[in-house]
Structure 1
């Protein structure tokens, strides 16, 4: 039944809320809830409606938590401007091989990945926590966390990561070509990370005007104040240099 209903649940959430990563997490949450409850209460008369309702509730809870976190960040920024903001590493500063842990941390926190994926990957790869420990911190079953970490490898956001890696090896124009299919995806066009990566590659390619436009768009689309500040700093540096 789950194989039959899962695509419909996923499509309903994506149509209403967008945010592919968050919707996929909510779908998995609904599956876990069904596996725990249905053997005790029986399969409901409308299983698809039940799954959509549970998944939507979980997704809304996460969205509210994220919105509350963003509000706290904005209030803190007003009360103490500059407090708790770590300056970004200058892109022109050479990275040596002296500290592989720092390099690994930067890779785990790549802007092409979602915030939950960044944190989970950092806890797994840098801090060395087991999947069970990370799952406990997120208050989700270990199987859900395993799936979440695995999805980082087949999601559209991996294409963003690949585009950056390819651009470093073969030139920004090749990386930009990899991003073209994502521009046809309505959900990805509304995601700030696509425009942030595209802006970075356009900047490397020497197209300052187009890069500035995508930095502006990425800054408008992100709900994270630190990310917005970072993008605006990149924009300001780009416009001052030109």
Structure 2
């Protein structure tokens, strides 16, 4: 999207509210989303020259409603159902729900849309793409660029996702059953977490980071936090993102190469983000009656790292205790991998290497460079330079990220 940065931010903030109004009034999520994109494009073209209208949300709803009405009429005409088309709201009339039927569009629509975009019938990749398109307001081209796939491929993925939602007969409303709501919220948080991770450390390509994706994940998580201020895991995820993203200015050297955490210039870290993240996770963990979740524990670990003035001041004993809790609460290969590093820092590298043996047969890490990279690091700590060099080389061959590959190759070369 082009134009003034303030207008662009406004459009992305209003996009889910407008889409919510359209879907609630008409249904037809797929057609409503297409109409919204056309309205956003019209705003991006007109607003820089004509100025932002006094009621920008109303302007977008009106323009999108006209387009959506045209689309629905054309579709219904094609199906020979002119009587239904004739009953639709005239295209030049401002669209609003009938009195007493539904509330006016508000930011709460963001959460409803997130639940819809993270429908259990969709694949993880489809959830991410649809979330960025429908809730984030990113164009198909922007999403395709972020994930290094052709625009046509991403367009097909988004189209299939919308058709899949349509086929399930899902309605524009939040789950009412507590268990289903909790599962859907967990899916939403996981999608936002994956978007952030891809932005913070790109899995492939020439760039180490994709700051636009990380920023979008933080923006969306802030929106969920405003709507669910008492959900500890929402606060935990936002804290984790802020505490991690705070290190971004120090993660890359001027030539774009990766700088590991222990070697970063901590004076470059964003201290405002650190302070906000620490406050969020502290409040979440101290809330009485709230069960501690994995995002809160990961945020607590990130806070221990960020509060250390120097790498050697890091309280690895506390980090190890937190990883032991996380392993019991939310076991998984990546948790074990990071747990092994904490064990190595407290009990020695050989103890950490012993933990890695349990991951050698885990199919979920098959072909993943992180296992070999951690193994190489621990072998280097243990003084086994030959084995470390071999592991660094293997990790370099497995990663699709060029900056990470160069870093791993550099580590191997230093051990010759």
TM range (shorter): 0.3 to 0.5
Q: Give the TM-score taking structure 2 as reference length.
A: 0.30
